[in-house]
Structure 1
Amino acid sequence: MISGVQRKAELLWALSQREIAARFKGSYGGLSWYVIQNLLLLTLYSFVFGTLFKNRWGQGDHPSGNFTVALFIGLIVFNLFAECVTRAPTLILANANYVKKVVFPLDVLPVVTLITAVFNAFVAMLVLIAVSWYLDSPMHWQGLWIPVILLPLMVLILGVTWLLAALGTYIRDINQMVTLLISAFMFLSPLFYQITALPKAAQTWVMFNPLTLPMQESRAALMLGQSPDWAALGVYLLIALPVAALGYLFFQKMRGGFADVI
């Protein structure tokens, strides 16, 4: 799996560049639309949850950080996951020309999707830096660990994307199911709230959400200046690697019938 990705590095880079450029082709605003979208969503969520529902980031009357910044960090992690998983079931169907007309390494398509999502997350991080500066919310240098913190999640995303891309080609209902699950993941992860605000029993279940640890560790590093929990991230990576390998093997096993069902 790893050597296959390495051998196709040049192709991955070319396809990723084309994918990113295609999103803004013919648009006068270009990349600025992505920035505007992030800011609008952040403003909306901050108003609803921070003002109307009076959510605060901390305990009682002693907040430990800016709610808007904490929300933005959570959105970056969630969008990285949601963008890949949402596109996965229709990934092969949307690139049917590669299946029918060309001898093409289809397994690179999920990797391209992940690279594009990582690029979008990078742009969102730049917006986050600007928002933090505007809100006078301190950012700690431990935030530089965020790419490492998100690495296990990216490995997991890759495996899930391979799996859903294969399944979605054969079972079209997978796309509808994934849409519902993404909505559930949004509210069952500590995106709009701190996990400590939940009852003890609920905290245990939320910790099984694959987005919980990356969100908490990213916030702890950037907002509180804490070093990552290397033990927890190590366990996460040990789980993510087999998931990625199984997703890749399943994709390779099923790809032989893609042309017959498209």
Structure 2
Amino acid sequence: MTSSRYRRLLGPFSALLWHRTLVWELSKRDVLGRYRGASFGLLWALISPFLVLAVYTFAFGFVMKNKWPQVEGGETHFSIILFVALIVHGLFAECLTRAPGLVVSQPNFVKKVIFPLQILPWPMLLSALFHAFMNLLVFMLLRLCMEGTIAWTIILFPLVILPLAMLSLGIAWGLAALGVYLRDIGQITGVLSTALLFMSSAMIPLTSVPEAYRIWFRLNPLTFIIDQAREVCLWQHMPDWQGLGIYAVIGLGVMYAGYAWFASTQRGFADVL
């Protein structure tokens, strides 16, 4: 089988395999560049989650009160339950909000340099995964300090997050291409990211949502992953393997579709930019 056929078969993975060194360097630049010039440097990757968690815990845990039976029963703290959801949402939100500007923000790569544009979503995803696992370390430390325990099933968290990562990557390719032709899409994704957070099981359990609106929460791609992340990070249960398998198949399909859309529209990028 020729090299070109291999690339078509591997689809989105070929961008990573054939340019892995470049992807790695761009990923490091993305992470380090975010904190360049800051006094605390990479420590902000640990500090920021605490600050965000404090705001949401105060707003939803104290002011608006929460409706989690595990909190009312004294099994755990609301901040711990919320933190797991914020880790999941943070990964997806970073990909969703940054994707429309991936190509637009790099006009030199499109016009003046022979550059494999299809790799651009990979460094973004790897950067988002880095911050997600830094947040997971903060979560483990916080739970150990507050409750003196860490669920051993937390080692399954990467398997839980993998289907969402594939879905995020596919959406990123689609939005990166769409963002070249429709600049307004970048304004929509920020609002959509916030809506996905509040219309998921991040803040309240599904049992507390009125039956008439529950379907919209279930259709939210974050809800299932948030619930499964809590199963392994908090309740020390096995995840729903069948559900994760179905989610992974859908994520893989979106991944290939997004990559195909990006490849089919890539030729017109230079003309638009």
Name the aligned partner's letter for residue 81 of structure 1.
F
**1:124-148 CA-partner distances (Å, limit 9, x unpaired):** 1111111112212532111111110
Name the aligned partner's letter for residue 185 of structure 1.
L
Name the aligned partner's letter for residue 130 of structure 2.
F
In 1, the alpha carbon distance for the partners of 2:126 and 2:198 equals: 25
Which of 231, 234, 238 matches 1:220?
231
Kindly report which structure 2 residues correspond to 1:228-239, keeping only aligned pairs within 5 A, or say none.
228-239=239-250
- TM-score normalized by the length of structure 2: 0.92
The match for 1:10 is 21
**1:9-61 CA-partner distances (Å, limit 9, x unpaired):** 12111111111111122222101223222111101111111111221432684
In 2, the alpha carbon distance for the partners of 1:57 and 1:44 equals: 18
Q: 1:127 and 2:138 equivalent?
A: yes
After TM superposition, what 4+ stretches of structure 1 lie above 6 angstroms from structure 2?
Answer: none
In 1, the alpha carbon distance for the partners of 2:44 and 2:235 equals: 31
Change in Cα spacing, 1:192 to 1:137, as seen in structure 2 (3 Å) is: farther
Change in Cα spacing, 1:59 to 1:40, as seen in structure 2 (3 Å) is: closer
The match for 1:55 is 66
Secondary structure of residue in 1 paired with 2:69: strand
The match for 2:155 is 144
Q: Conserved in 2, the CA contact under 8 Å of 1:138 and 1:223?
A: no
Q: Which shifted more, 208-217 or 132-141? A: 132-141
Kindly report which structure 2 residues correspond to 1:84-123, keeping only aligned pairs within 5 A, or say none.
84-123=95-134
- TM-score normalized by the length of structure 1: 0.96
In 1, the alpha carbon distance for the partners of 2:15 and 2:178 equals: 21
Q: Conserved in 2, the CA contact under 8 Å of 1:46 and 1:68?
A: yes
Superposition RMSD in Å: 1.4
Gap regions ≥5 residues in structure 2: 1-10
* Identical amino acids, percent of aligned pairs: 40
Change in Cα spacing, 1:63 to 1:195, as seen in structure 2 (3 Å) is: farther
In 1, the alpha carbon distance for the partners of 2:71 and 2:51 equals: 28
Q: 1:158 and 2:173 equivalent?
A: no
Which of 217, 223, 240 matches 1:206?
217
In 2, the alpha carbon distance for the partners of 1:116 and 1:60 equals: 33
Q: 1:81 and 2:92 equivalent?
A: yes
Which of 57, 70, 81 matches 2:81?
70
Work out the number of aligned pairs and report it: 262
Give how far 1:76 is off.
Answer: 0.5
Q: Which shifted more, 63-72 or 91-100? A: 63-72
Q: Conserved in 2, the CA contact under 8 Å of 1:65 and 1:137?
A: no
In 2, the alpha carbon distance for the partners of 1:41 and 1:202 equals: 27
Name the aligned partner's letter for residue 219 of structure 1.
R
Gap regions ≥5 residues in structure 1: none
Q: Conserved in 2, the CA contact under 8 Å of 1:57 and 1:64?
A: no
The match for 2:255 is 244
In 2, the alpha carbon distance for the partners of 1:11 and 1:178 equals: 27
In 1, the alpha carbon distance for the partners of 2:68 and 2:124 equals: 32
**1:111-130 CA-partner distances (Å, limit 9, x unpaired):** 11000000011111111111
Secondary structure of residue in 2 paired with 1:220: helix
